[in-house]
Amino acid sequence: MTNPPSSASGSHSETAATADGSQNQVPWWRRAITYQVYIRSFADSNGDGTGDVNGLRSKLPYLRDLGVDAIWINPWYASPLADGGYDVADYRNIAEQYGTLADAEALISEAHDHGIKVIVDVVPNHTSEQHAWFVEAKSSPPGHPSRNRYHIRPGQGADSEQPPTNWTSVFGGPAWTRLPDGEWYLHLFAPEQPDMNWEHPEVRQEFLDVLTFWLDRGADGFRVDVAHGIVKDMTFPDMAETTEVLVSNTYDNHPHWDRDGIHEIIRTWRSLLNTYDGDRMMVAEAWVRPERLPLYLRPDEYHQSFNFDLLEAEWSAGVFSTIIDKAVAAAADVGSTPTWVLSNHDVMREATRYGLPAGTDWRRWPATGPAEDLNVGLGQRRARAAALVVLGLPGSTYVYQGEELGLPEAWDLPEEVLDDPVWERSNHTQKGRDGCRVPIPWAKDGPSLGFGDGDPWLPQPAGWSGFSAEAQAGQPDSTLELYRRAIALRRTLGAADEDLELLDPTQHGLNEAESAEVLMYRRGSGLTCMVNFGSAPVTVPASTETELVRSGGIAGTPLDPDTAVWFTA
Ligand code: GLC
């Protein structure tokens, strides 16, 4: 294997002083701001209404100026896009709509020139039904070896007319689909996404080869999709309770989530990464019980795993503090650093989520529009405050495209444009995830607000001109400028250490009642973050001179409800 020239091009790489005064190079991912690019909706260079690699290349200066350390690109491989690209037909090529392999190579190299690392999304649990392996399996008779790369089995009943198990798909409906010859294949997601059989040596080898392919092209890391799902109980038992969810939470010895056999596979990936220079990394999308997560983060497994607790948290000082405390401790226990995620391409955007009445279940992608009492201003204020929370914390923060513009969920997409398989699979009871995937508004004017020259694949809601990057750039009170300022400050002040202390606000001039509604933490560098989750303003224990940035209101005055401030102390 030939290693490419070092991709450790990060102009942002830092050294940290250790207790004995020596300098240690800190792996970049331990404290990176990683910007998630949903490529289909980021920037369209050729006017076909779909984002593409060259569109992303054109926005690299924007990302550099935003100050991010890395980008994570959602799957960009050849795909019929039955699940937005998480149905991969060829892991070594780029989707036609997105460009060419040469474009992708140019993107990686240009990102490196800007000091930005590139994390590629890999999908090991399933392929597309159009992947050559599945095409072969489907057209071969029962018993043919090509079928063993997937979970293709006879069903139950005399004529095999019942599926092999009662498992359900995460997207709704049964997890098995019948082939014309009577056998059934497993798909934990859409029928267009057959699950691979990871007991098969060719599957294991193929995936190592795919990782090698992208490592050789300079990929700095991998986001591993459904990392907790690849190994199945090969006795295929029925489940006592079936739920269409991605988590193993309440089920012991779950037949397809979080099985022990996963770990020996992860170790082979890690060994491969370790043969490359430049701190190549892997981050797991693993929806597992909190006590099981450290297993994925052992020194010879993943470098990081997404922590979705804040993303799922209600707006509460106590809940936020507890999550932060636990996450920092858990990461330290395994020698990793915590990750912070407020949203991604699978969930309702936080600027909307935080404006819903407390207790609203937004997780199942509801089919109905916003509750009449959706409070838009409130959601936006809280989202800005939450940004200062996660940008100030030690560890790695993931920012989903559009978060930095304060984009809300596009609730009211017309039914005829909905593309997420969840919409059909749920019999139109769940609208799906398209509302957080609407193309980015870059400019104040133009047919798709600067996204591209054609009609965007999902329409942008009326009124999004004001959210555009152009409208916000240079406006001191805009969300974009808030992100830019906070990320720049983080770099100079906060990022160089991994220390965090949760502060007791009663020790900083607040009374008991106020303190219960306030989150306060301090970093080793002195950067202090204070957030008011309550309903009345609270005093900030800082002078106007030591205040660095706030998410709303006026420096030097009491901190408004649903607002955060950073100061040095
Ligand atoms: C992950 C992705 C999601 C996708 C699913 C199936 O959860 O984040 O978008 O639909 O896996 O690949």
Is it the case that residue 495 has pLDDT exceeding 80? no
Crossing angle of helices 201-216 and 262-274, in 10° steps, is 30
CA distance 549 to 485: 8
Q: What per-residue confidence (pLDDT) applies to 248?
A: 55
Per-residue pLDDT of 324-373, as tens digits, reads 999 999 999 998 899 999 999 999 999 999 999 888 888 877 767 666 67
State which amino acid sits at residue 496: A
Q: What per-residue confidence (pLDDT) applies to 376?
A: 86
Give the mean model confidence (pLDDT) for residues 466-488.
98
What band does 19 get if pLDDT is binned at 50, 70 and 90?
Answer: very low
Per-residue pLDDT of 21-76, as tens digits, reads 444 578 999 999 999 999 999 999 999 999 999 999 999 999 999 999 999 999 99
pTM, to two decimals: 0.95
Sheet containing 176-178, strands listed edge to edge, beginning at the edge strand earlier in sequence: 152-153, 184-186, 176-178
Q: Using the 8-state DSSP alphabet, how is residue 450 labeled?
A: T
Q: Which of 123, 225, 433 to mutate to test the pocket of ligand 1 (most atoms within 8 A of CB)?
A: 225
In the set 44, 195, 220, 225, the catalytic residue is: 225
Q: What per-residue confidence (pLDDT) applies to 208?
A: 98
DSSP codes of every residue in 460-526? PPTTGGGGSHHHHTT-TTSHHHHHHHHHHHIIIIITT---EEE--GGGGT--HHHHTTEEEEEETTS
What band does 555 get if pLDDT is binned at 50, 70 and 90?
Answer: very high
Q: What per-residue confidence (pLDDT) applies to 329?
A: 92
The number of the ligand 1 atom at minimal distance from the alpha carbon of 188 is: 6
Q: Using the 8-state DSSP alphabet, how is residue 288 labeled?
A: -
Cβ neighbours, 10 Å, residue 11: 11
Q: Which two tokens stand for residue 314?
A: 């209600």
Q: Please choose, from the candidates 461, 281, 407, 345, the residue with its C-alpha nearest in 3D space to the C-alpha of residue 39.
A: 345
In the set 44, 285, 309, 346, the catalytic residue is: 285
* 3-state percent helix, strand, coil for the chain, nearest multiple of 5: 30, 15, 55
Q: Whose CA is nearest to atom 4 of ligand 1?
A: 86
Per-residue pLDDT of 267-299, as tens digits, reads 999 999 999 999 999 999 999 888 888 999 999
Distance 309 CA to ligand 1 centre (A): 18
Is it the case that residue 10 has pLDDT exceeding 70? no
Q: Please choose, from the candidates 397, 372, 373, the residue with its C-alpha nearest in 3D space to the C-alpha of residue 387.
A: 397
Mean of the per-residue pLDDT values of the chain = 92
Q: Strand, coil or helix: what is 217?
A: coil
**Cα–chain-centroid distance for residue 536?**
33
Cβ neighbours, 10 Å, residue 118: 23
Strand 184-186, strand 152-153: pairing: antiparallel
Q: Whose CA is nearest to atom 12 of ligand 1?
A: 86
Backbone torsions φ then ψ of 285, nearest 5 degrees: -95, 95
Range name among 146-150, 151-155, 202-206, 237-241 with the lowest pLDDT average: 237-241
Per-residue pLDDT of 503-529, as tens digits, reads 999 999 999 999 999 999 999 889 999
Is it the case that residue 15 has pLDDT exceeding 60? no
CA distance 521 to 392: 9
CA distance 40 to 58: 14
Is it the case that residue 257 has pLDDT exceeding 90? yes
Is it the case that residue 3 has pLDDT exceeding 50? no
Q: Strand, coil or helix: what is 72?
A: strand
Distance 86 CA to ligand 1 centre (A): 6
The number of the ligand 1 atom at minimal distance from the alpha carbon of 125 is: 12
**Cα–chain-centroid distance for residue 365?**
17
Distance 485 CA to ligand 1 centre (A): 32
Q: Which residues, listed in sequence order, are joined to residue 520 by a DSSP beta bridge?
A: 530
Cβ neighbours, 10 Å, residue 243: 12
Buried b (16+ CB within 10 A) or exposed e, 494-526: bbbbbebeebebeebebeeebbebbbbbbbebe
What band does 250 get if pLDDT is binned at 50, 70 and 90?
Answer: low
Buried b (16+ CB within 10 A) or exposed e, 30-39: bbbbbbbbbb
- Give me the domains of the chain, ranges plus CATH numbers: 14-123+200-483 (3.20.20.80), 132-186 (3.90.400.10), 498-568 (2.60.40)
Residue 221: its H or E element: strand 221-224
Q: Which two tokens stand for residue 472?
A: 């916000």
Query: 70 with 34: CB under 8 angstroms?
Result: yes
Whether 189 is in the pocket of ligand 1, judged by its Cβ within 6 Å, is yes
Whether 225 is in the pocket of ligand 1, judged by its Cβ within 6 Å, is yes
Q: Which of 41, 81, 86 to mutate to test the pocket of ligand 1 (most atoms within 8 A of CB)?
A: 86
Whether 86 is in the pocket of ligand 1, judged by its Cβ within 6 Å, is yes
Active site residue 83: no
Active site residue 314: no
For 199-207, which contacts have Cβ atoms below 8 Å and span 24 or more sequence positions? 199/231, 199/234, 200/148, 200/149, 202/149, 203/149, 204/265, 204/268, 207/122, 207/124, 207/269
Task: Find the farthest-apart pair of alpha carbons in the chain and give their distance in angstroms, rounded.
Answer: 79
Q: What per-residue confidence (pLDDT) applies to 246?
A: 63
User: Taking phi first (over 0 means left), then psi (-120 to 50 degrees means alpha), and beta for anything else, what does residue 231 get?
Assistant: beta
Is it the case that residue 157 has pLDDT exceeding 80? yes
Q: What per-residue confidence (pLDDT) applies to 492?
A: 87
